[in-house]
Structure 1
C-alpha cells in the first residue's frame, strides 16, 4: 500500500513539473540590449512567426526612441508590445538591458563646436543617459526651437523650464559683411520635454 502511495505521489510531482515546464515554454519574451550606438534584439516565442522581421522592426523602433527627446523606457516597452501584437504575440515579457544597467537607454552623442570648452572638445563623443531626471550642473543634450540640437550645462530649473548655458565663456568679435558681431556661447531656455538626456561620461 505504501509503495502505491509513493508511486502516486511521484506521478503527481512529475505531472506538476511537466505542467510548470509547459507553462514556461508558452511564455513569449523580447530581450533588448543597448550600448549607446548598437541595439541587439532577441525574441523567444513558440509562435510560428517571422522573428527576423520582428527583431528588425524592434531594432528600428528602438533607434527612433533613442533619438526622440520625449521617449523613455516606458515608451520603448509600449512600442515593442504594439509591434509584437501586430505579429500575433500578445503580452510578451519585455526586458530592456544596457551598458548602464536594466531599463536605461544610453545614446552616444557627437560634440559639434567649441561652446562647451574646456569640458567638451569639438568632435568628441559622449555617453548620454536618456532621462528627464536632471539637476543644476548637469550637462544635457536638448532640442532647442531656436538653435536645434544643442549640448549645454543646466544653470537653472524653474518648474518645467530649464535654463541652459555654454561652458565656454570667451567672447570674440567678428566682422561679417562690414558689420561687427559679438560671438559668445549660447544661453537659452527649453522645456524639460525637449531634454534628450544627461551626459554621464565624456
Structure 2
C-alpha cells in the first residue's frame, strides 16, 4: 500500500512537472480570430495562474472591436494592446496570434453600402469585405472616415503625399426642386487624409 501511495504521488509530481514545463518552454498564448464582424479570443495559460480567462477574453474581444472601428488601428497596435491587457492580469510571457479569412495578422471589416453613389460597382445595401491597411493605390475602392460625410466608400482617384482624393463610380447627375429652387445632386468627391482610411475593399 505504501508503495502504491508513493507511486501515486510520483505520478502527480510528474504530471505537474510536465504541465509546468510545457508553459515554461512553449509559453502562454492568445489566439484571436476575426471574420470582419465576429471576434473570438482563446487564451492558453497555466492552470496555476489564477487568471479569470473569461474576463481576459472579453477584454481582448472589446479591444479588438475598438481597433477594427478605429482608422488608426492595425495589427501591431492591436497586439501591443492585447499584451498590455495580459500584463494587467499578471501574464508577462504571452504570444499573441491574430487570424482571419484574409490570413495571419490581417484585420478584416464588413462594411454595409448605403446609397447608390458607387453604382454599378456596388449596390445600396450590399456588404463588402474590407482589409485594414494604409497600403492603397489609385483605382482601389476604400472605406474612409470623412469629416464632412462620415463613413464613406469611394474609389481612390488621386494620391498626393498623405492626401487621398476619393470619387464616386456613379457619375449620373440628378436634379430636384425644393421650394421652387433647382438643386443638382451627384456623387460625393472629397479629399481625406491617409489616416482617415480604414482599408481597401477586397471582396464584394
SS in 1 for 2:30: strand
How big is the shift at 1:91? 3.5
Which residue of 2 is the match for residue 159 of structure 1? 161
In the alignment, the residues of structure 2 paired with residue 101 and residue 76 of structure 1 have an alpha-carbon distance, to the nearest angstrom, of 15
Which residue of 1 is the match for residue 175 of structure 2? 173
In the alignment, the residues of structure 2 paired with residue 20 and residue 198 of structure 1 have an alpha-carbon distance, to the nearest angstrom, of 46
The alignment yields a C-alpha RMSD, in angstroms, of: 1.5
How big is the shift at 1:90? 1.0
User: Given the alignment of the two structures, is residue 98 of structure 1 paired with residue 100 of structure 2, yes or no?
Assistant: yes
Match of 2:69 among 64, 67, 70: 67
User: Given the alignment of the two structures, is residue 31 of structure 1 paired with residue 31 of structure 2, yes or no?
Assistant: yes
Deviation string, structure 1 residues 104-133 (Cα, Å, up to 9, x no partner): 001100000000000000000000000000
SS in 2 for 1:143: strand
How big is the shift at 1:20? 9.0
Deviation string, structure 1 residues 24-56 (Cα, Å, up to 9, x no partner): 423111000111111110001111110000001
How big is the shift at 1:74? 0.6
In the alignment, the residues of structure 2 paired with residue 172 and residue 158 of structure 1 have an alpha-carbon distance, to the nearest angstrom, of 30
In the alignment, structure 2 segments of 5+ residues that lack a partner are 1-15
SS in 1 for 2:87: helix
In the alignment, the residues of structure 1 paired with residue 93 and residue 68 of structure 2 have an alpha-carbon distance, to the nearest angstrom, of 23
In the alignment, the residues of structure 2 paired with residue 74 and residue 20 of structure 1 have an alpha-carbon distance, to the nearest angstrom, of 33
In the alignment, structure 1 segments of 5+ residues that lack a partner are 1-17
| TM-score normalised by structure 1 residue count | 0.88
Q: How does 1:13-32 map to 2 (within 5 A)?
A: 22-26=20-24, 27-32=27-32
Deviation string, structure 1 residues 130-163 (Cα, Å, up to 9, x no partner): 0000000000000001111100000000111000
In the alignment, the residues of structure 2 paired with residue 60 and residue 161 of structure 1 have an alpha-carbon distance, to the nearest angstrom, of 31
Which residue of 2 is the match for residue 134 of structure 1? 136
Give the count of matched residue pairs.
185
Larger mean Cα displacement after TM superposition, 81-90 or 131-140: 81-90
How big is the shift at 1:22? 4.3
Shift >2 Å, 4+ stretches: 18-24
In the alignment, the residues of structure 2 paired with residue 100 and residue 168 of structure 1 have an alpha-carbon distance, to the nearest angstrom, of 29
SS in 2 for 1:43: strand
